[in-house]
Structure 1
């Protein structure tokens, strides 16, 4: 605090900066009185500013709150949306000055730039920030909720490899550890993070099971995505034999990771680089590593596996999620369903009009 004595008047005054502007107040009888007045001026400004803070201030406060309560992977995604999309557009605006029309204009500006799912996610995060602000009593309204999320049709097309495509690819994988990794990924439907987090304690060779109860993100091991993600996956014997051979190569401790060295799993950059090379060599259509999960679901559907079993293997919380994602992959059509009804009754079993 900067307090000065006015030698001409025999009083005290303070000079400070508030919101980038110099503020000067005179006529205080004592130095302590001038200090208290300066402190009050700063406090009054802070209280006034808190009543209508900028969107950027609340967004940053929300991210700080979110980081302490959510997984790192979730925070990273949300933080990216806030810093790349929302703060650049709404940052300097006063929170209570943002009205529904501003939200609509913003939606219109991004609808043609991003995929429908991403546009919806941006809006969801924007609405969450306003909900946070309401709980903290910064505002009473959520203009994002008033406007509602965009009503865009999702493209349900997903990429996957049928078994023949996977076989073509796997023939070119000349590293045994990675060969085993891709086989496990294709035949388990695990997420990449779940696979990289596996330790040898998770492999039950007696019962051909893989235990999934954690995931890896940026080399940090955390709890899985959801409670339903904690599961045991039954594996075919030929994949379990590969895992057994991989373990026999180094005779590792049970706490060591399956795909990596000691306690450190292979890096995602190494995995992506090697995967890219083998895809090019095999000349199959490239899919993302996450699409191995879709490939597994497609494989099971093609085998006639019921949706509840697929949901359990993938770690979905309910069958509805599985059907929503993969229903278009099921081959049955309404016409095929009706054809199966045709043989329920033989002609002689049907009552004819006019028959006694």
Structure 2
């Protein structure tokens, strides 16, 4: 074991010779409130100043009565992320687990993973994480989502006595300019889109008319099986949602709902069902009421990536290419809500149709984005569907 040398001017600090260089450390002894003696030892600092700075932090924690947090003094963000994920995994939904895991692996650990939990502050966080995400080109909403998960992580550190307070609270995320803004189609644009749909495969005609006429979420559409659609009663029951993480229960209990559909949409679904049955027979695959409603030409469940790609293609073919980036599959949901609200449907009914927990959520999302004067959907969807004026 290497011989240790003590410094007269710094009684708690020592150094050893390692590979021809001096490496510094400290030993600090204190008595807790129960009159028990404790010793804290740290080493491998590159200079006296580094060791003394760390020692000062230890002293301050002891004086503040936060001695318990000293055992976490070298805990890094990356290490705490791992513990946090494992501690919460059993109580999270699968989608929540994967969302946190994706966020931490791709945005938090690569930027501030090596920073110690007790040393992170707004300046370090802004410089090493937030600014890097902005430079990377992330949307403002995506950065806000990353920030919310980081705040949750640090709040958990407070709850576990790792830090005394969340130093990242109150961090302001800069507004990013120059990003594409989502917007709804005008009545004329929607009419053009629907005219182009008539020339598209029956699969995509059905997908986009269902999104357009029901306001369901994209994941809810992907989770539909034929037993969820009661064509004779003109009803679609939302019982599941599906994405890259698989099939599961909907977003909230209120998302389980029944949606009324028009006779025209029911007729389109019957036509599409006939096509799908023939496709599965040709592929020699079994087809039954538990088959996913929307599958590819190879008989595999449809993905949101495929929907997005074909939406962009149809927009261009309809002469609406300028909407690419502004208009997504989820925007149909906003159009549906706007049409209902702007044409006098009671807020409570709109909220139920969208699967919101309460009308306040509907108001918070749609009255801000689509005020009463919004004329984007001047004609009824049903009229546009039939290309009437």
TM-score by length of 1: 0.70
The corresponding residue for 1:196 is 222
In the alignment, does 2:294 pair up with 1:259? Answer: yes
Among 307, 327, 334, the residue aligned to 1:271: 307
Aligned length in residues:
293
Deviation string 1:165-208 (CA, Å, 9 cap, x unpaired) is 22312332321121011110101111111101100110012321
In the alignment, does 2:55 pair up with 1:55? Answer: no
Distance 1:158 1:69, change over 3 A: same
Superposed, 1:1-356 pairs within 5 Å as 50=72, 52-103=74-125, 109=131, 115-145=139-169, 147=170, 150=173, 158-173=182-197, 174-218=200-244, 220-249=246-275, 250=277, 252-260=287-295, 264-284=300-320, 285-286=323-324, 287-328=327-368, 329-332=370-373
- Greater CA radius of gyration, 1 or 2? 1
Matched residue SS, 2:196: coil
Deviation string 1:33-77 (CA, Å, 9 cap, x unpaired) is xxxxxxxxxxxxxx9864541111001222334444333433343
Matched residue SS, 1:133: helix
- Separation in 2, partners of 1:88, 1:247: 47
- Separation in 1, partners of 2:140, 2:208: 30
Deviation string 1:145-175 (CA, Å, 9 cap, x unpaired) is 3x355596999x6422244322312332321
Distance 1:198 1:308, change over 3 A: same
Query: Contact 2:226–2:292 at 8 Å: present in 1 too?
Result: yes
Deviation at 1:234, TM superposition (A): 1.1
Matched residue SS, 2:247: strand
> Which stretches in structure 2 are left out of the alignment for 5+ residues?
1-68, 279-286, 375-389
Q: Which moved more, 1:188-197 or 1:205-214?
A: 205-214
- Separation in 2, partners of 1:141, 1:196: 43
Matched residue SS, 1:211: strand
Distance 1:302 1:107, change over 3 A: same
Deviation string 1:207-227 (CA, Å, 9 cap, x unpaired) is 211111211111610111112
Deviation string 1:214-255 (CA, Å, 9 cap, x unpaired) is 111116101111122111111111111111222234284111
- Separation in 2, partners of 1:207, 1:107: 53
Distance 1:104 1:270, change over 3 A: closer
Deviation at 1:258, TM superposition (A): 0.9
Distance 1:153 1:303, change over 3 A: farther
Query: Contact 1:54–1:94 at 8 Å: present in 2 too?
Result: yes
Query: Contact 1:255–1:263 at 8 Å: present in 2 too?
Result: no
Query: Contact 1:301–1:330 at 8 Å: present in 2 too?
Result: no
Query: Contact 1:193–1:216 at 8 Å: present in 2 too?
Result: yes
- Separation in 1, partners of 2:129, 2:70: 31
- Separation in 2, partners of 1:295, 1:229: 18
> Which stretches in structure 1 are left out of the alignment for 5+ residues?
1-46, 334-356
Cα RMSD, aligned residues only: 3.7
Matched residue SS, 1:221: strand
Deviation string 1:242-297 (CA, Å, 9 cap, x unpaired) is 11222234284111111116984223333233222211110123311111111211
Q: Which moved more, 1:190-199 or 1:313-322?
A: 313-322
TM-score by length of 2: 0.65
- Separation in 2, partners of 1:85, 1:260: 33
